[in-house]
Amino acid sequence: MILHAEQLVYRHAPGAPPVLDDVSLALDAGEILCLLGPNGTGKTTLLRCLIGSLQPESGSIRIDGERDVPARRRALTLAYVPQAGVGGSLSLLDVALMGRTPHLRPLAMPGARDRRLALEALERVGIAHLAQRPFDRVSGGERQLALIARALAQQPRLFLMDEPTASLDLGNQARVLSTLRALADDGLALLVTSHQPDHALLLDARVAALRDGRIHTAGHATEVLQAHTLSALYDTPIDVLARNGAPAACVPRLRSQAR
């Protein structure tokens, strides 16, 4: 098991209500786990606990079966894609090159191989033509793609991605989702937060849905993403439509359409 979290409890302040309450999950090589749940339910907080930037009050996190993995080894094992990143005036190539940092000796500069891997990562997400453009002079979606490229260049075994398709058009959503599926098929592990349950279906992923800081629903997307489960999770009527006989699209009903 590459990632195993057990009974995590996290509060932003002592005595405050828990943001994460008894949350457990496990992720193996070759798997995609899609983390769903309403706004403010603790998805980013969970990712930040898993990468070690927040400290849970109790519970355990093991990577490759080991607790308290040293920072350098952790950086070689897992890559985090945040919702938004700060790249300033760095070029997108330099942003992608930052993914190579854990592989460099202290104070060493990236070499030709690092630059090739960074460029390949930009190509894989379709923005190699923007390699020399400063991060603060590209669109929100292009920034998101650059942050994904940085993670790809890092060549980790485990990806933790916070809403990686949130700013992307349909074409780029399909490109990124195809890339994520291909990474899993290559044996890598991915934990991906999303507000689009459809994406869990497209990715043929397992799902863990958080609500009020607790696991509300868990299982394979095709089994658990049913109209009644989603309607309860998001507190709104949701239909699940089929394509080729399999659930494919999760569509909320507006108040005027409620039956």
Ligand X SMILES: Nc1ncnc2c1ncn2[C@@H]1O[C@H](COP(=O)(O)OP(=O)(O)OP(=O)(O)O)[C@@H](O)[C@H]1O
Which chain residues interact with ligand X by CB under 6 A? 12, 19, 37, 39-45
Q: How far is the CB of 39 from ligand X (least distance, A)?
A: 3
Distance (Å, rounded) from C-alpha 141 to C-alpha 147?
A: 10
Nearer to ligand X among residue 13 and residue 258 (C-beta):
13
CB of 187 to ligand X, least distance (A): 28
Q: Which is nearer to ligand X, 19 or 97 (CB)?
A: 19
Q: What is the DSSP letter of 170?
A: H
Q: How far is Cα 204 from Cα 93, in angstroms, rounded to an integer?
A: 31
Residues 6+ apart with CB under 8 A from 138: 92, 127, 130, 146
- The phi and psi torsions of 121 (rounded to 5 degrees) equal -65, -40
Query: Which one, of 230, 259, 256, 249, lies nearest residue 238 by Cα?
Result: 230
Minimum distance from residue 8 beta carbon to ligand X (Å): 12
Shortest spacing between CB 172 and ligand X, in angstroms:
20
Least separation in angstroms between residue 18's CB and ligand X is 10
In the complex with ligand X, the residue whose CB is nearer, 43 or 175, is 43
Q: How far is the CB of 216 from ligand X (least distance, A)?
A: 12
Residue closer to ligand X by CB (options 39, 244) is 39
Q: What is the dihedral of CA 246, 195, 205, 24, to 10 degrees?
A: -130
Q: How far is 145 from 169, CA to CA, in rounded Å? A: 11
Please, which residue, 39 or 89, has the CB nearer to ligand X? 39
DSSP of 99-160: TTGGGSPTTPPP-HHHHHHHHHHHHHTT-GGGTTSBGGGS-HHHHHHHHHHHHHHH--SEEE
Nearer to ligand X, 12 or 113 (CB): 12
